[in-house]
Chain A
Amino acid sequence: AQTVTQSQPEMSVQEAETVTLSCTYDTSENNYYLFWYKQPPSRQMILVIRQEAYKQQNATENRFSVNFQKAAKSFSLKISDSQLGDTAMYFCAFPRGGGSQGNLIFGKGTKLSVKP
């Protein structure tokens, strides 16, 4: 079965510090994308970063970066220089059936609080 596990229900970090959110997944597919989504209190799901499984280089988007370990099926998100606006639920997800366009399987999420 294809699953996504986020083992940290809640985390908090001081403004300007760095925090890492964990995600593990299980799939038998070889080519797929992995995603981190952010859902602020406004509810709108926003894509933070994506990683293509066939690329060994870890994806980076400004203050957000991932540590992708394909063999371990691990996909963690690092947020550097945390800002108050980063406070949100963060979901790890990947497409069922592999590829990039399949329906997404989400983890249960990590609630991140950034404190001033």
Chain B
Amino acid sequence: ETGVTQSPTHLIKTRGQQVTLRCSSQSGHNTVSWYQQALGQGPQFIFQYYREEENGRGNFPPRFSGLQFPNYSSELNVNALELDDSALYLCASSSGGGAEQFFGPGTRLTVL
């Protein structure tokens, strides 16, 4: 059974640029959640996708957007990058009947 994978591992961008982060969910999981973890903080919920539809959103501006594909993999897009967007971005997948979110290793984004 393949776990949750994320790409890329690290990314460096400059302010104002756009970035796309990718997540492959664990086999059998139809729900993907994205979290932003600033240095020294706990993860903060960005949004969740369930069967290709957004299913809940945290307190993040519209320049944070996402997609979920028919195979349940997902993308997180961030436009007009700001310095404060520098963080570890975590993806987690889960199944409808489960009580656990399985996390990927994260993508470290640095905005200069």
Residues of A bordering B, CB below 8 Å: 4, 33, 35, 37, 42-47, 50, 91, 93, 96, 100-109
Q: Which 8 A-B pairs have CB atoms at the shortest separation, nearest pair first?
A: A106-B42, A45-B103, A100-B99, A103-B45, A44-B105, A43-B106, A106-B43, A108-B42
Contact B105 A42 (CB under 8 A): yes
Interface status of B61 (Cβ within 8 A of chain A): no
Contact B43 A104 (CB under 8 A): yes
Which residues on A sit within 8 Å (CB–CB) of B100? Answer: 35, 47, 50
Contact B106 A104 (CB under 8 A): no
Interface status of B25 (Cβ within 8 A of chain A): no
CB proximity of A78 to chain B, nearest CB, Å: 20
- Of B42, B96, B106, the residue contacting A109 (CB under 8 A) is B42
Interface status of B7 (Cβ within 8 A of chain A): no
A42's closest neighbor in chain B, by CB?
B105
Cα distance A78–B70 in the bound complex, in angstroms:
41
Residues in B83-108 with C-beta less than 8 Å from chain A: 88, 90, 92, 94, 96, 98-106, 108
Given contacts A101-B96, A103-B48, 10 further A-B contacts (CB under 8 A): A43-B106, A46-B103, A100-B99, A101-B98, A101-B99, A104-B35, A104-B101, A106-B43, A108-B42, A109-B42
